[in-house]
Chains A and B, each alone.
Chain A
Amino acid sequence: MARVKQSRSCETAELVSAYLDGQLLPGELDTVVTHLGECADCIAEFHQLKEVRAALRTLPFLEIPEHLLPDTHPGELLSAYLDGQLDTSEHDFVISHLDFCTDCRLELHELDSARTAIRSLPGLEPPEFLTVHRERIERERWSRRRVVAAGVGIAAAAAFVFAIFGPTTETGDLDLIPLFDQHQARVSVDSGFNVIPAFAPAGESP
């Protein structure tokens, strides 16, 4: 060692941290390296600073509490994903998200089932609530006809009606109720209808 500086306020000392951080400006590196070769104080400082720097960098890098992060689930992108309608970056985002998010995997599965069910529906009978509605309209139409028929007031006509439809006076409903029941029976057998209750508004089930 050429000489040992006694001064604690060595000008080059301040460069030692930057040297450790690889943050010296061009030209400074030579100065520091040369100086470290001849200044015992700076060598001691170099070792101390190196220890402190290393110690700081052992501090654990903490996880951020989850609630601080925004909700970054793909949401409606999942449906577009099933339909193959995502661009590349959206697709990558969805794929990597599904990798770790069980909630979204479950949602995707449900969406997929619903989508498959909808797509496999046959040409359907109208949903039951529509049928019931139409039935009511038709029943009213029958009743009106009966009123008209009664208005005619011909005994022969009455006898004719009796002969055709039997003893009951509820002529119109007699024909429609079995029809309605048949429809109900088919609904319960036809698997194509099974998905309907899940989508029909509440209170529409028989």
Chain B
Amino acid sequence: MADDRTPTWEDVARVYGRKIYNFAYRLTGNPDDAADLVQEVLLRVRKGLSSYTPGSFDGWLWRITRNAFLDGVRKQKRRPTSPLPEDDRNVLATSPSPDEVLASVRLSEDIQSALLKLPLDFRECVVLCDVVGLTYEEIAEAIESPVGTVRSRIHRGRKMLRELLTWPV
């Protein structure tokens, strides 16, 4: 999105909604939480746009998205968690692309469950890089940390994934 104008929240929803949803889905592994997060992010965008000063829009948006996610995680920690039933998980993984070959569905499930085992700091960097497609600079803005931190977290996050995918727990 161009940096010289303030988009409307509808623009944001249209252009970024799907990315935010995928970010949320890969971080949470669950469509309901992902949908909640998208709604929360769009609400915050709507409120925040009035005070948004044209600049790095991506940095601003992903900072909001990431903070909304962390707030959600904090809230969730306060109430007892129950793991997603195994059946549900299968439906989720297969519903997005019904014609996908079984092998790759299996692979997506494995990757998704491995992602969920990563510590949050690493998971968010890996997802922002490999799912959302942000540059290290943009990720650094989103998580409000130096680029060196981003680089190290992506590297170590991928190494952990490698271990998890080679010897699934």
- Place the interface of chain A in its size category: 20 to 34
A14 at the interface (CB under 8 A from B): yes
Q: Note all chain B residues with C-beta closer than 8 A to A14.
A: 151-152, 155
Q: How many A-B residue pairs have CB under 8 A?
A: 96
Q: Which of A45-103 contact B (CB under 8 A)?
A: 45, 48-49, 51-53, 55-65, 68-70, 72
CA distance A60 to B31 in the complex (A): 14
Report whether B96 and A63 are in contact in the complex, using a CB–CB cutoff of 8 Å: yes
Q: Which of A17, A48, A51 has the most CB of B within 10 A?
A: A17
A33 at the interface (CB under 8 A from B): no
Report whether B38 and A68 are in contact in the complex, using a CB–CB cutoff of 8 Å: yes
- Place the interface of chain B in its size category: 35 or more
B21 at the interface (CB under 8 A from A): yes
CA distance A14 to B159 in the complex (A): 10
CA distance A65 to B107 in the complex (A): 23
CA distance A55 to B115 in the complex (A): 12
Report whether A55 and B165 are in contact in the complex, using a CB–CB cutoff of 8 Å: yes
Report whether B162 and A49 are in contact in the complex, using a CB–CB cutoff of 8 Å: yes
Q: Note all chain B residues with C-beta closer than 8 A to A190.
A: none
CA distance A23 to B21 in the complex (A): 25
CA distance A137 to B130 in the complex (A): 80
A17-B154, A70-B9 given; A59·B14 CB < 8 A: no
Q: Which chain B residue lies CB-closest to A56?
A: B130
Report whether A55 and B155 are in contact in the complex, using a CB–CB cutoff of 8 Å: no
Report whether A18 and B10 are in contact in the complex, using a CB–CB cutoff of 8 Å: no
CA distance A18 to B18 in the complex (A): 26
Taking Cβ atoms with an 8 Å cutoff, the residues of A that contact B are: 13-18, 21, 23, 45, 48-49, 51-53, 55-65, 68-70, 72
8 contacts between A and B (CB under 8 A): A17-B154, A23-B136, A48-B159, A58-B108, A60-B97, A64-B20, A69-B17, A72-B14
Taking Cβ atoms with an 8 Å cutoff, the residues of B that contact A are: 9-10, 13-14, 17-18, 20-22, 25-26, 31, 35, 38-39, 42, 96-97, 100, 104, 107-108, 111-112, 126, 129-131, 135-136, 151-152, 154-155, 158-159, 161-162, 165
6 further A-B pairs in the complex, CB-CB below 8 A; given A17-B151, A55-B165, A62-B25: A21-B154, A55-B111, A56-B161, A59-B131, A61-B131, A65-B35
